[in-house]
């Protein structure tokens, strides 16, 4: 193991606030602490050290080194250090006088050569132009911790990895370890990251195509699709062309051959066949109808023939019936004679009994007649006496009534009226005589005159001598002379005359009515009338005693009685004859009669029955006789036989025709069945449709041809084949590009995988020793903890007892602490590999609490046992317990 690097002196001039020279001499191995407040120049010194190593002396990007406001200055840095038994002095100035001198013991290097030598030694790189950046800083970037970046380890570790590899490799080479010779490759990580970037342009992290490669694949796919489409279109186009040719030839063929016409012909035949069949069917119908008629006719004929036969049979039956009836009649007649005898006999007995009864009754009657006769004779004597009395009274009445019957009887009232009228007339007549004109006359004999007075109906003839009182004017005809009108005078004469006439008329009328001449007569007549009436009454009373019912009645009764007497005498005379002949009483005779009558009745009834029977037989026989005659008459009817024969003949003819018609029906039916009209119908429908379809298809063909023609013309206009060729070219190129890209992607992938694999393997070899060094420090900080190193050689998982957590998830302070620890571990590793290690901490651990800081001080102290460590701080009080004198920058 080499002696560790030891920086012994640092001097700066014309650099930032150090316009004048500033020198830190006598730097100690191990820990050196520099303190000063802000702006004291800590950072400027750190920057000076970095510039001395990292920046090319000719760099123009070091303006920040110039003192403020002095662009003409030439910032310079001088460093003395020892390493590996050699003494180094680096003098570098920038700006106006760029220069780099490196003395190694006695050897001198200048410019870039000197710079590259240092870069090689310390393990860092330069920026190709411009200011040096973190990625160029390599190992120092890891070990020189800038203010406030102690926790940011990962990036620095990454930039340092190449140099770590190189450092470790050179160590291995020096130790002659063949296997370890391959643990690293110079520029390997940069190469890998570049290849990865290139791979990333084509593939995703998981190896899926992306960006250009994906687009190329898609383009191939799209072009394949479009080519397929075009091929399809072309194929379709060709099919259509072929189809067009085929359709055209078919259409032409159809035009020439017109195949539907043949079918039309067939159709016509079928239709004709159908017509014929319809006729046959009609004939069949007619034949059936005819058969029906015939059957009816035959039935009729048969019935008639049967009727004929029936008639004949009936005649026979009638004869038989007649014979039977005659026989029955004879039998009835035979039974009749005894019955009659029987009846006669019984009748005689009845008559005898009747005669006996007659005699008995006569005897009885005679006895009664005799009694009656005696009573009648007695009555007659009484009646004759009464009659004599009555007749005498009757004569008296008649005599009395006779005068009265001549005149009207007067009543007392009539007499009084007449008396008054007579009185009045006499008074008026006296007055009239006193006033009236008296015409006295005396006419010659034989002479007469006629006088007509007014108020009189007839003229009064005047003859002889007399006087006429004229109470009213009167006209006196004087024959041959004229007339004399005499008008009585006096003033009241007319009235008086009227009253007198009236009274006289009344008086006359009353006398007239009463039948009297004058009043005296009336008076006498009335008196006589009264006397006669009294006498009559007496006589009428006497008559009523003798003949209460009138004389005529009495006389009649008497006559009747007389007649009866005579009749009784006669009856008695007769009755007396039979009275002696019988000994039977009436009742006995009646009883005997009754018995004989009953016997007779039975015989009579028997006879009646037989006679009735007989007459029925007679009637029956007569009926049978008549029927037989009727039947015979029917049979004997003129023309019947002819008719029967005619019917017979017709029936036979009918049977024959029936058979013929049936045969015809069968034939027709059979032929119809054979011809299958339904199938013919179907044929017609089928053929019609076929014809229609063929014609339609033919037209359709024409339409299709036109359509295809149009479609082809359109398709042809697109220049499909040309398109296809171009498309195929595009595809071929796209495929080529795709293939190239795929190949490139696959190659990049392969490279990345291989390089990565190798790198991982080499890293793994670094991990173990680094882990060891790391652990040493971690346990100073966390006694039970373990910090793992990950693939990037940076702290990974921190385990503290049962807890564990990722480095990146730790607090800022903890990360800073562990970051420093890691850097120390790197330093240990590098030192073991014989590389120079200088640790610079600028204001580190400001975020640590007192307890952690105390632990970290132990860590720092420990690291300082092996490495030179420059610690810049503005908190000198924090670092007093490290056993080192602090050097103030002031």
Partner 1 sequence: MPRFLHTADWQIGRWFSSFDPEDALPLAEARLAAVERLAALACTHEVDAVLVAGDVFDAQTVSERTIRRMFNAMAGFSGPWVLISGNHDAALAESVWTRARRLGAVPAHVHLALRPEPLLLEACRTAILPAPLSQRHTYGDSTAWFDAVETPAGWLRLGLAHGSVQGILAESMVDATNPIAPDRAARARLDYLALGDWHGGKRIEARCWYSGTPEPDRFKANDSGQALLVEIDAPGAEPRVQALRTAQFDWLELSASLRVASDLDGLLQRLEALPAHTVLSLRLEGQLALDLHQRLNAALAVLRGRLRHLSVEASALSLAPTDEDIAALQADGYLAEVIAELRELGAAGPAPSSEEPGEAEIAREALALLTATLAQRRRELSA
Its sign, for the CA torsion 221, 222, 226, 232, is positive
Please tell me whether residue 415 binds partner 1 under the rule CB under 8 A: no
For 84-130, the DSSP string reads TTEEEEEEEE-TTS-EEEEEETTEEEEHHHHHHHHHHHHT----SSS
Q: Which is nearer to partner 1, 443 or 750 (CB)?
A: 750
Contact stretch for partner 1 (CB under 8 A) within 340-348, 549-557, 652-660, 737-745: 737-745
Output the six-digit token pair for 124.
């860092």
| Contacting range for partner 1; rule: CB under 8 A; set: 106-114, 444-452, 600-608, 715-723 | 715-723
Q: Which stretch binds partner 1 (CB under 8 A): 397-405, 615-623, 743-751, 813-821?
A: 743-751
CA distance 135 to 120: 15
Query: Residue 526: exposed, middle, or buried by beta-carbon count in 10 A (0-12, 13-18, 19+)?
Result: middle
**Minimum Å distance from CB 792 to partner 1?**
17
127 forms part of the interface with partner 1 (CB under 8 A): no
Q: Is 307 in the site for partner 1 (CB under 8 A)?
A: no
Stretch in the footprint of partner 1 (CB under 8 A) among 373-381, 539-547, 622-630, 735-743: 735-743
Which of residues 82, 277, 728, 797 is near partner 1 by CB under 8 A? 728
Stretch 81-120: interaction string toward partner 1, x if CB under 8 A: ----------------------------------------
Q: Interface with partner 1 by CB under 8 A: which range of 649-657, 671-679, 744-752, 874-882?
A: 744-752
Tokens of 167: 């450092």
Residue 733 touches partner 1, criterion: CB under 8 A: yes
For residue 394 the two structure tokens come to 């009757």
Residue 244 or 697 with smaller CB distance to partner 1? 244
* Closer of 381 and 717 to partner 1 (Cβ): 717
Strands lying side by side in the sheet with 803-806? 785-789, 795-800, 803-806
- Residue whose CB is less far from partner 1, 253 or 733: 733
Alpha-carbon distance of 829 to 123, in angstroms, equals 14
For position 722 contacting partner 1 by CB under 8 A, the verdict is yes
Task: Rule CB under 8 A: say whether 750 interacts with partner 1.
Answer: yes
Q: What six digits make up the tokens of 753?
A: 């995988």
CA 165 to chain centre: 93
Q: In what helix (H) or strand (E) does residue 156 lie, and over which residues does it extend?
A: helix 154-175
Question: Locate tokens 């870039």: which residue?
Answer: 112
- Looking at the Cβ atoms of 246 and 292, the one nearer to partner 1 is 246
Least distance in angstroms from the C-beta of 218 to partner 1: 16
Least distance between partner 1 and beta carbon 85 (Å): 27
The nearest distance, CB 751 to partner 1, in angstroms, is 5
Contacts with partner 1, 680-709, as mask; x by CB under 8 A: ----------------------------xx
For residue 400, give Cα distances in angstroms to 174, 340, 552: 235, 79, 19
Non-local (6+) Cβ contacts of 851 within 8 A are: none
CB of 122 to partner 1, least distance (A): 19
* Residue number with CB closer to partner 1 (742 or 786): 742
Q: Is 715 in the site for partner 1 (CB under 8 A)?
A: yes
> Which part of the chain contacts partner 1 (CB under 8 A), choosing from 607-615, 640-648, 717-725, 808-816?
717-725
Based on CB atoms, which residue is closest to partner 1, 107 or 754? 754
Nearest by Cα to 633 from 301, 321, 314: 314
Give me the least distance between CB of 252 and partner 1, in Å please: 12
Does 713 sit near partner 1 (CB under 8 A)? yes
Does 665 bind partner 1 (CB under 8 A)? Our answer is no
- Supply the minimum distance, in Å, between the C-beta of residue 769 and partner 1: 18
Per-residue contact string for residues 167-206; x = within reach of partner 1 by CB under 8 A: --x-----------xxxxxxxx-xx--xx--x--------
Q: Is residue 50 within 8 Å of residue 122, measured between CB atoms? A: no
Span from 255-263, 302-310, 741-749, 821-829 in contact with partner 1 (CB under 8 A) = 741-749
Among 276, 536, 635, 751, binds partner 1 (CB under 8 A): 751
Listed as own residue / partner, the contacts of 793-802 with beta carbons closer than 8 Å and 24 or more positions apart are 793/157, 793/161, 793/164, 793/763, 793/766, 793/767, 794/153, 794/154, 794/157, 794/822, 795/153, 795/819, 795/821, 795/822
Q: C-alpha 854: how far from its chain's center?
A: 98
Minimum CB–partner distance for residue 853 and partner 1 (Å): 41
In contact, 153 and 794? CB cutoff 8 Å: yes
Let me know if 872 is exposed, middle or buried by CB neighbors in 10 A (0-12, 13-18, 19+).
buried
CA 283 – CA 621 distance, rounded (Å): 60
Measured at the CA of 665, the angle between CA 661 and CA 668, to 5 degrees, comes to 135
The reply on whether position 714 binds partner 1 by CB under 8 A is no
How far, in Å, are 607, 611, 656 from residue 617 at the CA level?
A: 15, 10, 51
Q: Which stretch binds partner 1 (CB under 8 A): 102-110, 734-742, 797-805, 834-842?
A: 734-742
CA proximity to 438, closest of 499, 493, 371: 493
* Cross-sheet strand order for the sheet of 886-888: 144-145, 838-842, 868-873, 31-35, 886-888
Residues numbered 129-168 forming contacts with partner 1, rule: CB under 8 A = 165
Instruction: Decide: is 759 part of the binding site for partner 1 (CB under 8 A).
Output: yes
Q: Which is nearer to partner 1, 202 or 287 (CB)?
A: 202
Q: How far is CA 352 from the centre of its chain?
A: 111
In the complex, least distance from residue 683 CB atom to partner 1, rounded to whole angstroms:
38
Number of chain positions touching partner 1 (CB under 8 A): 62
Q: Which of 217, 234, 291, 797 binds partner 1 (CB under 8 A)?
A: 234
Would you say 130 or 455 has its CB closer to partner 1?
130
In the structure encoding, which two tokens stand for residue 594, read together? Answer: 């009754």
Compute how many other C-beta atoms are within 10 angstroms of the C-beta atom of residue 871.
23
Nearest to 151 by CA among 794, 612, 876: 794
* Contact call for residue 725 and partner 1 (CB under 8 A): yes
| Residues 868, 6 contacting (CB under 8 angstroms) | yes
Which of 322, 320, 311, 324 has the alpha carbon at shortest distance from 632?
A: 311
Residue choice 40, 222, 244, 810 for contact with partner 1 (CB under 8 A): 244
Q: Which of 217, 712, 874, 889 binds partner 1 (CB under 8 A)?
A: 712
The neighbouring-strand residues paired with 209 are 203
The only residue of 236, 698, 744, 776 in contact with partner 1, by rule CB under 8 A: 744
Does 239 participate in binding partner 1 (rule CB under 8 A)? no
Asked whether 45 and 12 are in contact (CB, 8 A), the reply is yes
240 near partner 1, judged by CB under 8 A: yes
Least Å distance, CB 115 to partner 1, is 15
Of 169 and 298, which CB lies nearer to partner 1 in the complex structure?
A: 169
* 402, 656, 747, 809: residue in contact with partner 1 (rule CB under 8 A): 747
Give the separation between CA 719 and CA 726, rounded to whole angstroms: 11
Binding mask 245-284 for partner 1 (x = CB under 8 A): x--x------------------------------------
Side-chain-side CA neighbours of 74 within 13 Å: the count stands at: 11
* Contact (Cβ atoms closer than 8 angstroms) between residue 857 and residue 882: yes
For the bound state, the minimum distance from the C-beta of residue 755 to partner 1, rounded and expressed in Å, comes to 6
104 torsion bin: left (phi>0), alpha (psi -120 to 50), beta (else):
beta
Which residues are near partner 1 by CB under 8 A? 128, 165, 169, 181-188, 190-191, 194-195, 198, 234, 237-238, 240-242, 244-245, 248, 708-709, 712-713, 715-722, 725-733, 735, 739, 742-744, 746-748, 750-751, 754-755, 758-759, 761-762
């Amino acid at each position: 193991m080499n002696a560790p690097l030891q920086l012994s002196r640092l001097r700066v001039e014309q650099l930032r606030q150090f316009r004048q020279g500033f020198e830190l001499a006598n730097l100690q191995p191990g820990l050196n602490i520099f303190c000063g407040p802000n702006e004291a120049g800590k950072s400027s010194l750190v920057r000076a050290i970095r510039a001395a190593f990292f920046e090319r002396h000719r760099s123009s990007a070091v303006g920040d080194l110039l003192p403020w406001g002095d662009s003409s200055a030439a910032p310079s840095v001088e460093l003395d250090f020892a390493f590996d038994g050699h003494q180094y002095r680096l003098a570098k100035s920038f700006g106006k006088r760029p220069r780099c001198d490196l003395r190694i013991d006695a050897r001198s290097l200048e410019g870039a050569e000197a710079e590259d030598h240092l870069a090689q030694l310390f393990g860092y790189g330069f920026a190709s132009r411009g200011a040096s950046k973190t990625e160029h800083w390599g190992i120092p970037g890891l070990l020189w911790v800038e203010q406030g970046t102690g926790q940011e380890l990962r990036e620095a570790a990454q930039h340092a990895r190449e140099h770590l590899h190189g450092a470790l490799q050179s160590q291995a080479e020096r130790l002659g370890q063949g296997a370890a010779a391959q643990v690293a490759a110079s520029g390997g990580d940069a190469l890998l990251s570049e290849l990865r970037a290139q791979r990333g342009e084509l593939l995703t992290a998981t190896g899926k195509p992306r960006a250009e490669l994906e687009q190329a694949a898609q383009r191939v796919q799209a072009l394949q699709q479009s080519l397929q489409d075009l091929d399809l279109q072309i194929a379709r186009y060709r099919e259509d062309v072929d189809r067009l040719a085929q359709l055209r030839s078919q259409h032409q063929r159809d035009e020439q051959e017109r195949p539907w016409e043949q079918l039309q012909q067939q159709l016509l035949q079928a239709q004709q066949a159908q017509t014929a069949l319809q006729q046959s069917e009609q004939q069949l119908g007619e034949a059936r109808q005819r058969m029906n008629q015939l059957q009816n006719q035959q039935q009729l004929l048969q019935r008639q023939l049967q009727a004929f036969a029936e008639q004949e049979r009936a005649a026979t039956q009638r004869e038989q019936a007649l014979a039977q009836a005659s026989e029955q009649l004879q039998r009835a007649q035979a039974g009749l004679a005894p019955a009659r005898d029987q009846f006669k006999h019984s009748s005689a007995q009845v008559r005898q009994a009747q005669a006996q009864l007659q005699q008995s009754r006569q005897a009885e009657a005679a006895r009664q007649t005799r009694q009656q006769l005696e009573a009648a004779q007695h009555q007659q004597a009484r009646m004759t006496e009464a009659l004599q009395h009555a007749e005498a009274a009757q004569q008296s009445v008649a005599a009395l009534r006779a005068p009265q019957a001549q005149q009207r009887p007067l009543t007392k009232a009539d007499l009084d009226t007449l008396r008054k009228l007579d009185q009045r007339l006499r008074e008026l007549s006296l007055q009239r005589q006193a006033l009236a004109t008296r015409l006295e006359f005396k006419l010659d004999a034989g002479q007469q005159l006629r006088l007509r007075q007014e108020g009189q109906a007839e003229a009064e003839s005047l003859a002889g001598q007399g006087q006429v009182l004229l109470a009213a004017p009167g006209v006196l005809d004087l024959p041959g002379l004229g007339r004399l009108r005499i008008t009585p005078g006096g003033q009241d004469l007319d009235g008086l005359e009227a009253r007198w006439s009236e009274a006289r008329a009344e008086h006359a009328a009353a006398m007239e009515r009463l039948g009297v001449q004058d009043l005296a007569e009336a008076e006498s007549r009335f008196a006589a009338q009264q006397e006669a009436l009294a006498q009559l009454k007496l006589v009428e009373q006497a008559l009523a005693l003798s003949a209460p019912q009138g004389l005529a009645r009495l006389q009649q009764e008497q006559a009747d009685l007389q007649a009866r007497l005579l009749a009784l005498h006669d009856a008695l005379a007769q009755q007396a004859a039979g009275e002696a002949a019988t000994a039977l009483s009436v009742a006995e005779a009646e009883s005997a009669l009754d018995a004989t009558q009953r016997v007779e009745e039975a015989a009579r009834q028997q006879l009646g029955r037989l006679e009735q029977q007989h007459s029925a037989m007679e009637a029956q026989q007569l009926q049978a006789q008549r029927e037989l005659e009727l039947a015979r008459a029917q049979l004997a009817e003129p023309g019947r036989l002819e008719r029967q024969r005619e019917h017979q003949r017709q029936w036979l003819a009918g049977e024959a025709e029936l058979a013929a018609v049936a045969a015809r029906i069968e034939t027709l039916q059979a032929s119809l069945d054979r011809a299958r009209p339904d199938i013919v119908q179907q044929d017609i429908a089928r053929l019609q449709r076929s014809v229609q379809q063929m014609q339609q298809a033919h037209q359709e063909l024409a339409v299709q041809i036109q359509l295809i023609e149009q479609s082809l013309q359109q398709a042809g206009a697109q220049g499909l084949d040309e398109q296809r060729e171009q498309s195929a070219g595009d595809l071929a190129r796209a495929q080529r590009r795709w293939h190239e890209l795929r190949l490139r992607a696959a190659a990049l992938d392969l490279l990345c995988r291989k390089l990565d694999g190798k790198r991982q393997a080499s890293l793994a070899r670094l991990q173990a020793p680094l882990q060891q060094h790391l652990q040493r420090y971690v346990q100073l900080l966390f006694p039970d903890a373990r910090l793992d190193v990950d693939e990037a050689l940076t702290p990974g998982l921190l385990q503290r007892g049962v807890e564990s957590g990722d480095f990146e998830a730790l607090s800022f302070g903890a990360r800073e602490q562990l970051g420093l620890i890691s850097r120390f571990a790197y330093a240990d590793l590098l030192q073991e590999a014989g590389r120079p290690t200088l640790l610079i901490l600028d204001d580190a651990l400001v975020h640590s609490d007192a307890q952690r800081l105390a632990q970290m001080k132990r860590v720092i102290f420990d690291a300082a046992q092996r490495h030179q460590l420059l610690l810049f701080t503005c908190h000198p009080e924090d670092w007093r317990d490290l056993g080192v004198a602090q050097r103030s920058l002031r």
